[in-house]
A and B are shown apart, each in its own frame.
Chain A
C-alpha cells in the first residue's frame, strides 16, 4: 500500500487586515493517507480542519511544509499549473453546501461537467456518467432538475460527478453538516460503499462522532494541530481528551466511561448499543 496523500509539517496562517494579527490556522501538521483507506478528520469548528481541506485540494498553499499527492511534491518550487491540474484529476472534493457545487440545471449534465473539462470524447462521457449515477443510486433522476432534489440527493450527485472523473480519492469537506438525518444517512451509506466496494480512498471531515466511528482511522484536530491519530476505538476511549478539545463522544462511550469512573471494569471502545449493553451486563455481574 502506498500513500496517496502525504503531509509533512504543514503550517498555514490567514493574513489579517492591517490592524489584525495573522491567524495561525494550521501548525506543523503531518500525516499519511494510505490508498484505499477511510480516514475521518474530526474537530470542532475553527480547529483548522477546513483549512486543511483547502490545502489538500490546492486552493491554498501552505506557508511551510510539504504536501505530496501521489508521490508528487505539490509544494515544490517548479510546480506548474499543469501539475496542480493533474493532482486534481486524482483527488476530488465534495463540499459542505450542496447547492453551491452543482453547476448545471440537469442532473446528468452536472455529473458530466468534470469529464467535459478533461476533454473526454462524448460517448465515453455518456458511459461514465451512466455508471457514476448507477453507483450512487441516482439513475432514475438523470434527467431531473438539480434544484428540486433533496440535500442528500444533491450530495450524491456531487459524488457522482467526482466518480465520473475516475478519481481514486475523495475528500468530503463537512459534506453532511447541512443535511437532515435522512440525508446524512444516505450520504454516509454511499461513502462507506464507495470505500468498501470501489476501493476509493475517503477522507471525511466532520464533527459528527457517529460518522467518525465508521472510519478505519480517525485524526482529531484541535487548534490547528493533530492531537490524536488512531482507530475509532482507540480515539474514543480517550473521552476526557476529546471533551477537552470541545468534542463529544458517542453516548455509549460516555456511559461506559462513567461506569469505569464508578469503579466498574469495562471496555471503552464500544459504539454499538447492543454490544454496549452486553458489556455493561457483564461488568455488573462481575462486580456482584
Chain B
C-alpha cells in the first residue's frame, strides 16, 4: 500500500492536457515560465491569473489537489510577503508618520504580485507536467528532446535509462524498506523514540541490508538486461514513438497568444510597474 506514494503526483486522467505530446509539454512549460517572468504590470499579472484558471480547466484535476500542492510553499510565501511589505520603499505610505515602521501601498501590491507569480509558477508547471504526464512519458520526452545532444557525446540515452530503472525500482525498494524495518522492529529496534543520534543509529540495521539488496538487484538486473540483448542506445528502436497531434498545435497557439498578450500589456497598459 505504501508503495503507491512513490508514483509521485501523477493524476490519472484523459483530459486535453493529459493527451498532449510530452515533448511539447516540456517546451510549453519552459515558454510559460519565461512568460511569467516577463510580466511587468498589474494587467499582465491579471492575464497570468487567468491563464492558471484556463490550465486548471483543461486538466480536469480536482481543485483540492492543486491547493494541497501549494501547502509546502506557505513558508516561502509568508516570508516573501513580510520582506516586501516591510522593506519596500514606495510613494504611498499607509501608516501615520512617526511610527517605528512604515508600510507602502506599493509594497503590498508588490508582495501580492510576487506571491501570485510563485503560486502560478508552481501550480502551472505541475498542471502542465507532473500532474498530467506519467513519469515514464516525461522521461521519454526528455530523451527525445535531448536526442540531438547525443551527437556531441552527451549520454542522453543512458540518462533516460537510469531514470526509467529508478522509477521502476522505487516502489520495490520502498516495500523492501518496510519489510526490513518490520524485521528489525521484531528484534527490538526502536525508530520512534530517543534522541536524534539514537534514532539515526537505529537506521543502520535497515540501511545496510537495504543497500546490499539494492546491489544484488542491480546485479541481477544487469544480467537480465544483457540476456535481453541490451547493448546501450545504439540501434535501439522504441515501441511507443511520440506523435504530435492537432492538440499540440492548439496548445502551441494558446501559449504563443499568452506570451504575446503579456508583452502587449507590458507595453501599452498603464498601471503600477512591478519591480524585482
Contacts and interface: CB of A to CB of B under 8 A. Distances in A.
Interface string A97-119: 10111111110110011111111
A174 B113 CA distance: 63
Interface in A93-141: 93, 95, 97, 99-106, 108-109, 112-122, 125-126, 129
Contacts, number: 98
Interface string B46-80: 00000000000000000000000000000000000
Interface string A57-84: 1010000000000000000000000000
Given A122-B239, A125-B237, A147-B172, A95 B223 contact: yes
B10 to A, nearest CB: 11
B229 A118 contact: yes
Nearest to A85: B229
Interface in B167-202: 167-168, 171-172, 175
Interface in B221-256: 221, 223-231, 235-241
A119 B236 contact: yes
A103 B229 contact: no
A117 B233 CA distance: 8
Most chain B CB atoms below 10 A, which of A100, A119, A129, A165? A100
A11 interface: no
Interface string B151-174: 000000000000011011001100
B168 A102 contact: yes
Report, as a range, how many residues of chain B touch the other chain. 20 to 34
Contact of A100 (B135, B217, B230, B235): B217
A99 B172 contact: yes
A122 B224 contact: no
A92 interface: yes
Given A116-B239, A126-B239, A105 B167 contact: yes
Given A85-B231, A109-B136, A114-B229, A100 B224 contact: yes
A147 B3 CA distance: 9
Report, as a range, how many residues of chain A touch the other chain. 35 or more
A126 B226 CA distance: 22
B164 A114 contact: no
Contacts of A85: 229, 231
Contacts of A222: none
Contacts of B136: 104-106, 109
Interface string B207-225: 0000000001100110111
Nearest to A120: B237
B13 to A, nearest CB: 14
B237 A121 contact: yes
Chief secondary structure at chain B's binding surface: helix
B226 A59 contact: yes
B171 A161 contact: no
A129 to B, nearest CB: 6
A61 B230 CA distance: 19
A225 interface: no
Nearest to A93: B227
Most chain A CB atoms below 10 A, which of B7, B171, B237? B237
Contacts of A146: 168
B220 A95 contact: yes
A88 interface: yes
A89 interface: yes
Contact of A105 (B135, B225, B238): B135
Nearest to A115: B239
A125 B3 contact: no
Contacts of B228: 88, 92, 103, 113-114, 117, 161-162, 165
B226 A116 contact: no
Contacts of B223: 59, 95
B210 to A, nearest CB: 14
B220 A116 contact: no
A126 B241 CA distance: 11
Contacts of A115: 237, 239
Given A106-B136, A120-B237, A122-B237, A89 B229 contact: yes
Contact of A95 (B224, B231, B235, B241): B224
A115 B175 CA distance: 30
A122 B136 CA distance: 18
A145 B168 CA distance: 9
B227 A92 contact: yes
B165 A103 contact: yes
B241 A104 contact: no
Contact of A129 (B224, B225, B236, B239): B239
Contacts of B220: 95, 97, 100-101
Pairs A-B, 3 closest by C-beta atoms: A100-B220, A101-B224, A112-B239
18 contacts: A92-B227, A93-B227, A97-B217, A101-B220, A104-B168, A105-B135, A109-B136, A114-B228, A116-B238, A117-B228, A117-B231, A120-B237, A122-B238, A122-B239, A122-B241, A145-B7, A147-B168, A162-B228
